[in-house]
A = this chain, B = another copy of it.
Amino acid sequence: MASTVHSTSERRNELIEQEKKVKERMGKIRHKVAVISGKGGVGKSTVTVNLAMAFAMHGHANSVGILDADIHGPSVPKMLGIAGQRLQVGPPGAFPASGPLGIKVVSMDFLLPDENSPVIWRGPLKMTAIRQFLSDIVWGDLDVLLIDLPPGTGDEPLSIAQLLPEMDGVVIVTIPSEVSQAVVRKSAFFARQLGMPIIGIVENMSGFVCPKCGFKVDIFQSGGGRKMAEELGIPFLGSVPIDQTVCQDSDKGAPFIVEHADSPASKSFMEIAGKVEEFLKNNERMKKMEVK
């Protein structure tokens, strides 16, 4: 019995210690933004990676981080061309891997023996991993940390919401279809219930233009993102058209806003990134006014 009590109090002290570390490490990061969607496969990781690149290209080189919080299906490293890297460990903790333009990345991918290994974990273990990603990683001073969350409104997004109450806000990604909207709408309510500000909605895979004849086909319908934003009274950040080069670039490990900077998808994306940055600046201004 005594030993149980002892280990419980030890565990409690550990958690308090870890919480302190989370505060310390996260205190050095000016902005934290989570990318969520409720539904999988709508382009959360694509949005995260290209948002990071957009920031890094415009005045924040070496000052952007990505936490790939998708424990079961990490794809950020592959999209940045750094899959299979390992985290380097030193006395202060583990260091993030380094991607293009000095983007700092932490992902479950870097901890797996090989790319095929599934992570067969239940919720509590995932919470522990995410806590460690925030407390034990030497992120250093960053302007922005983007957090790529897995689909759903379960363990991973809940953990992030609880561990980072100071989060600037969330970007919600959807595809235009009604089936997707129905699920993604839940994540807007999720964010509200947990008090996370919503930066806005991005509509991905919106309409397709035949590269040969120019005919426009709404493969997954279109306009659903804007409609949802209006219904919920949330800013609409923009829509990104379907473009086969986006997928090709992701597979190659080269973000499309760099590889195909002149495409309509890239131009639309840069506007979205601009709106997110605007939100963060306003947020900072308001926080400073509150302090005064």
Residues of A within 8 A of B (CB): 38-42, 45, 71-75, 78-79, 83, 115-124, 126-127, 150-155, 158, 175, 177-180, 182-183, 185-187, 189-190, 193-194, 208, 210-213, 215, 217-221, 242, 244, 247-248, 250-251
A152: B residues at CB distance < 8 A:
71-73, 150-152
How far apart are A289's CB and chain B's nearest CB, in angstroms?
A: 32
A77 to B79 Cα, complex, angstroms: 33
A121: B residues at CB distance < 8 A:
153-154
CB pair B118–A179 under 8 Å, yes or no, is no
3 residue pairs, one from A and one from B, having the closest CB atoms: A40-B40, A41-B41, A123-B123
Further pairs besides A123-B124, A221-B248: 10, Cβ < 8 Å: A38-B72, A40-B41, A72-B151, A115-B182, A118-B187, A123-B155, A179-B250, A208-B208, A218-B244, A220-B244
A41: B residues at CB distance < 8 A:
39-42, 151, 175, 180
A165 to B127 Cα, complex, angstroms: 28
Of the A-B pairs whose beta carbons lie under 8 Å apart in the complex, a sample of 12, sorted by A's number, is A38-B73, A39-B40, A71-B154, A115-B182, A120-B158, A120-B193, A123-B126, A123-B154, A208-B217, A210-B213, A211-B217, A218-B244
How far apart are A47's CB and chain B's nearest CB, in angstroms?
A: 13
A130 to B206 Cα, complex, angstroms: 34
A151: B residues at CB distance < 8 A:
40-41, 72-73, 150-152
CB pair B79–A179 under 8 Å, yes or no, is yes
CB pair B221–A251 under 8 Å, yes or no, is yes
CB pair B39–A190 under 8 Å, yes or no, is no
A75: B residues at CB distance < 8 A:
179, 182-183
CB contact between A210 and one of B118, B210, B242, B250 (< 8 Å): that residue: B210
Task: Please name the residue on chain B nearest to A152 by beta carbon.
Answer: B72
How far apart are A263's CB and chain B's nearest CB, in angstroms?
A: 14
Task: Please name the residue on chain B nearest to A176 by beta carbon.
Answer: B247
A153: B residues at CB distance < 8 A:
72, 118-121
A242: B residues at CB distance < 8 A:
219
CB pair B193–A220 under 8 Å, yes or no, is no
How far apart are A161's CB and chain B's nearest CB, in angstroms?
A: 9
Most chain B CB inside 10 Å of its own CB: which residue of A115, A127, A158, A210:
A210
